[in-house]
Amino acid sequence: MKDARLTLHFNNNLSVHDIIQASQSNDVNTGDNSQINEAFTLQERILFEEKFAEYNELHRKVTSDGVRSRMLQELDREIMMLRREELRDREVLDSPEMSGPRTHGKGGFGKKRERRLTTVELMEKQLKKDERYAAQEV
């Protein structure tokens, strides 16, 4: 017998029980995907190491200094390109605009590099000042 709490139906005729089953099935599939990703990553790493060993062997066997120099230039160019791509990816995932304080206007800092007060904080400060002024008049 189904639990009475699981028989709640939504507008599209899905019960909570159906949703739970679909979620559990999705969890199993996610585990399969991670195993596939790990296997692919390992296969890719092995292929990279084989290609790099082949490149290294070719560099060692080449007798022409010009060809050897060109191989090093190409390898250096590829490394620089990969570093730029990694930087771009990092900037997209954690852009400079989002890494600082979340404020509007002039970056949230005043002349003394202090955090600017919010409107509420400014109003509270003004109220305290007004209260002190009123207390002095009495």
Structure tokens at 39: 């296997």
What are 68-120's pLDDT values in tens digits? Answer: 999 999 999 999 999 999 988 887 776 665 555 555 555 555 556 677 778 88
| Total number of residues shown for the chain | 138
Burial environment of residue 40 by CB neighbours within 10 A (0 to 12, 13 to 18, 19 or more):
exposed
**What's the pLDDT tens digit per position in 7-23?**
444 455 666 667 777 77
26-60 tens-digit pLDDT:
666 666 677 888 888 999 999 999 999 999 999 99
Burial of 116 (0-12, 13-18, 19+ CB in 10 A): middle
pTM more than 0.85:
no
Please give the share of the chain, as a percent, with pLDDT higher than 90: 33
| Sign of the dihedral through C-alpha 14, 16, 21, 22 | positive
How far apart are alpha carbons 121 and 127 in whole angstroms?
A: 10
Would you state the structure tokens that stand for residue 47, as one six-digit string? Answer: 């292929």
What residue ranges do the domains of the chain occupy? Answer: 1-61, 62-99, 105-138
Instruction: Give which of 1, 33, 5, 35 is closest to 19, Cα–Cα.
Output: 5
